[in-house]
Amino acid sequence: MSALARTRRAVRAVALVYALRALAAWILASPLARALTSTVAAQHPRGDAILFDPGGLELIESLRLSLGVLGSELKGALLIGTVLGALSVIPAAALLAALVEDEPSGPAEWVRRAVTLFPRFVLSFGARLFLQGAVLAVGALALGRLGRRLASSWPEQSADLSALGLGLLVLAAASALGIYEDLFRIESARGATLGRALGQAGTLLRARWLALGGSWLCLVACALVLPLLVAPLVGIVDVSRPGSWRLVVVTFLHQAVVLGMVAARAVWLAIVIELGSAPRAQRLPIDLQVPPSGPIPAEVEAHDTPPQPRE
The predicted-structure confidence for 85-124, as pLDDT tens digits, reads as follows 788 888 889 998 888 887 778 888 888 999 999 999 999 9
pLDDT band at 183 (very low <50, low <70, confident <90, very high): very high
Residues whose CB is less than 8 angstroms from the CB of residue 101 and which lie 6 or more positions away in sequence, other chains included:
none
Q: What does the pLDDT read at residue 133?
A: 92
* pLDDT at residue 309 is higher than 60: no
CA 247 from centre of chain:
29
Rounded-to-integer distance, Cα 149 and Cα 127, Å: 33
pLDDT band at 131 (very low <50, low <70, confident <90, very high): very high
pLDDT above 90 coverage of the chain, percent? 13
**60-94 pLDDT per residue, tens:** 777 777 776 677 777 777 888 888 878 888 888 99
* pLDDT at residue 306 is higher than 80: no
* pLDDT at residue 195 is higher than 70: yes
Work out the number of other CB atoms within 10 angstroms of the CB of residue 24.
Answer: 18
pLDDT greater at residue 10 or residue 289: 10
User: Using alpha carbons only, what angle is made at residue 80 by residues 78 and 84, rounded to the nearest 5 degrees?
Assistant: 115
* pLDDT at residue 235 is higher than 90: no
Q: What does the pLDDT read at residue 137?
A: 92
Rounded-to-integer distance, Cα 41 and Cα 184, Å: 48
